[in-house]
Structure 1
């Protein structure tokens, strides 16, 4: 009776189901390895960010006006009578934001390596021009009643989240005067910590004269900035416009404000932003010290040079279909066994399933050295060739082995289609499963499974001593 059970169709199906579940164990281990390698790449990116430059947040030029507020307070005795007055002062800063700001820039991608991992960086070469409106120091708000304001020499400040990314010294011209940047200026307190982390240019010469004469201050600024993957710009002007181009064909636009116009082609991208201070809280955030030199809490518009094919994300998506692939390949082997009246041992099924599982490991290893499509082609070709040779012997003929290998090659082709079409992956995956099930049902719609099982059992019993 045990021999009859062992050779029955239902028993063989149960063994294949159990084997498929067992093969999910190495697939899960390969998935864990992919996550580990992806984590190692993220660590490499963080190390490069610490030693070279990280993602950049740019706060375009604004004027910082240091001032002293003076007032008098009455002194009273224990009876509440006024005995005199005492003068008090405190030093503060006031921010003046540009009226207009126009940014024209290009992002040139570059790759850097940490071990076997490559990390994407960019060089942002920008030209900025804008204008500060006429400013009256008397408009500075007072915190004390009856106080007077004594304004000092203003500074032009440029906020950069990681100063190590500055590519040379920015060239600044304000009201026709060439100004020189320095890293630190006196008079900035803890509240202005993010300003202390930027660069500053004290007004001098013609710029200071124009400021003192209550004139508008036009400015131009040329800037080179290196960053890692993402560039964020805070729109602090009354009217901020930006035009950024790059030869990188896989951008990702994000932040609080998306590009109003954008064009992405295989030759790169071209994007425009137009942001009004009426719809942005960036000014208030800068005044209150939100974000800081390393903070990304500011309302910004962002552009990221994303990887078109992240090999670890693609490998993770691929291995998620591993259980389905193993099941489909074992099902195909079972159909050959059933209709060709052959005998395949569970060990043979196990070896075939392991070869499918190892395809995903081979894909991961090769994708770290080759382009993803090249790694996929090599891994799939190796797997299909191995199965063709193996099944030519197991199924008793090269035609059968070739037809089985062609079925596996079709599955690999379908999987690559799923991976390449990320937006339609779910639809294509559902259609693949439905199609395979439909083919199986149509091919076996006239099969008498009871008769086939009895015939198989009888045949197998006659071959058993």
Structure 2
């Protein structure tokens, strides 16, 4: 009979645990739903302002055309002469491209959802040793005649709405900046015609000052024989991406500074741009992505990511709490009803819902403290009645507080969360085995049966 009573209670507690796992699953779905709404907020801001920015340039280009005579058959099957024409673009990338500036935070909000954005000024200094690449090429057709228009400078952007202002200078001469690039592959951006008296056998230097805004990510195509990018921001949590990491960087609470140095020996970007290959968000042709230098504004304490990670440990912490209650029940002789186990588990589950709702309005650390404090206070008060004395209730509350402290450590140590979690489980299991090493489980079952029959 004693063994049967213990088995029935274990089965009931297994059912309670299954019910609580369903509750945690539903809270997890709510986290996913709120995270999806945050992504909708990001998309809404990108549609209303400007999205992630990828810049290409400055480049020099000329619009050219080739005409030639050809023989065609008319409706009467007679040969007659006709003029054929093809349009194309020739372009030149800089020998040296130096880009510097600051892109600081400019957050946007959609309801309670924050979207990380940036704005700032960038300075471009592009230098060409010679413009011979812009000389009209030889005709490809026999008898063809090639004509080219004036040289233009251009800068392509993945989202031209983020180009707030631009000033382009050739020495001391300010050039008239116009929308669009005139490039058949990278069409969004700006361009400026250069003086018609420009000598193609002389060096050229252009200075572009650009006020730029974007959302979450910034990238630059190193389309030069030698590219240098020196970037600053007051965003303290950058994630560097693209094909090249910064050659040097400094990251602190006040922001970061990073410097990239890339040459055409290491990157195929200059050749790829001349072949009009794909650049993320800029267009182009072909299937190969061009190299970029980039950073993203990553929020390491995203409330939805942290809540999702916390919920993954939820069932484990509920079971650990049940083990602690079971030990007190065995060692003190105080019987705990399965409904009380259920209420304790629901209180532990409600912590995750409180954490999610509070972290949408407060910082994650403060939200965790408030949610954990509420859960510990409730469980400590309830534990005093459930376990019979205030001392046991305070001990139970302290144990739950220790579990929440351990969970916060697991969430904070993302890289070492697996080993910390494994060590925690091993320590808890070892403590349970040490505390119960002298218990006679058969005698406990028999005494529980006798107590039940005497009532």
Interval of TM-score (by shorter of Structure 1 and Structure 2): over 0.9
| Cα deviation, residue 74, structure 1 | 6.0
| Cα deviation, residue 295, structure 1 | 5.2
CA change 1:293–1:449 in 2 (3 A) is closer
| Cα deviation, residue 292, structure 1 | 7.1
User: Pairwise mapping of residues 256-271 of structure 1 onto structure 2 (< 5 A)?
Assistant: 256-271=243-258
Name the CA distance, whole Å, in 1 between partners of 2:139 and 2:31.
59
Indicate the residue corresponding to 1:46 in structure 2.
43
Indicate the residue corresponding to 2:324 in structure 1.
332
Partner SS for 2:178: coil
Q: Any conservation in 2 of the 1:387–1:405 contact (CA below 8 Å)?
A: yes
Indicate the residue corresponding to 2:269 in structure 1.
282
Matched, 1:391 2:388: no
- Selected match of 2:352 from 360, 366, 376: 360
CA change 1:156–1:448 in 2 (3 A) is same
Moved more, 289-298 or 43-52: 289-298
Partner SS for 1:194: coil
CA change 1:349–1:220 in 2 (3 A) is same
User: Pairwise mapping of residues 169-248 of structure 1 onto structure 2 (< 5 A)?
Assistant: 169-184=165-180, 188=182, 192-195=184-187, 197-204=188-195, 208-209=196-197, 211-212=198-199, 214-248=201-235
Matched, 1:96 2:88: no
Tell me the TM-score normalized by structure 1.
0.90
- Selected match of 2:439 from 444, 447, 458: 447
Name the CA distance, whole Å, in 2 between partners of 1:350 and 1:366.
24
CA change 1:347–1:217 in 2 (3 A) is same
Name the CA distance, whole Å, in 2 between partners of 1:294 and 1:44.
23
| Cα deviation, residue 68, structure 1 | 2.4
- Say what the alpha-carbon RMSD is for the aligned residues: 2.4
- Selected match of 2:28 from 11, 26, 31: 31
CA change 1:334–1:157 in 2 (3 A) is same
Matched, 1:373 2:346: no
Over residues 259-278 of structure 1, what are the superposed CA-to-partner deviations in whole Å (9 max), with x where a residue is unaligned? 12222222221211111223
| Cα deviation, residue 132, structure 1 | 1.8
Partner SS for 2:156: strand
| Cα deviation, residue 107, structure 1 | 1.6
Partner SS for 2:179: coil
Name the CA distance, whole Å, in 2 between partners of 1:200 and 1:219.
12
Moved more, 101-110 or 378-387: 101-110
Over residues 378-419 of structure 1, what are the superposed CA-to-partner deviations in whole Å (9 max), with x where a residue is unaligned? 000000000011011111111110000000000000000011
Matched, 1:105 2:101: yes
| Cα deviation, residue 227, structure 1 | 0.3
Indicate the residue corresponding to 1:254 in structure 2.
241
Name the CA distance, whole Å, in 2 between partners of 1:292 and 1:380.
44
Matched, 1:273 2:260: yes
User: Pairwise mapping of residues 59-78 of structure 1 onto structure 2 (< 5 A)?
Assistant: 59-73=56-70
Name the CA distance, whole Å, in 2 between partners of 1:12 and 1:331.
13
Indicate the residue corresponding to 2:451 in structure 1.
459
Over residues 34-72 of structure 1, what are the superposed CA-to-partner deviations in whole Å (9 max), with x where a residue is unaligned? 000000000011011001111111112001111222334
Over residues 186-229 of structure 1, what are the superposed CA-to-partner deviations in whole Å (9 max), with x where a residue is unaligned? xx47xx1422x21110113xxx42x3352111111111110001
User: Pairwise mapping of residues 103-142 of structure 1 onto structure 2 (< 5 A)?
Assistant: 103-136=99-132, 137-138=134-135, 140=137, 142=139
Q: Any conservation in 2 of the 1:194–1:292 contact (CA below 8 Å)?
A: no
| Cα deviation, residue 84, structure 1 | 8.5
Moved more, 427-436 or 114-123: 427-436
Q: Any conservation in 2 of the 1:159–1:293 contact (CA below 8 Å)?
A: no
Structure 1: gaps (5+ residues): none
- Selected match of 2:410 from 374, 393, 418: 418
Name the CA distance, whole Å, in 2 between partners of 1:450 and 1:31.
40
Tell me the TM-score normalized by structure 2.
0.92
Partner SS for 2:415: helix
The total of aligned residue pairs comes to: 448
Name the CA distance, whole Å, in 2 between partners of 1:59 and 1:284.
13
CA change 1:72–1:326 in 2 (3 A) is same
CA change 1:339–1:66 in 2 (3 A) is same
Partner SS for 1:254: strand
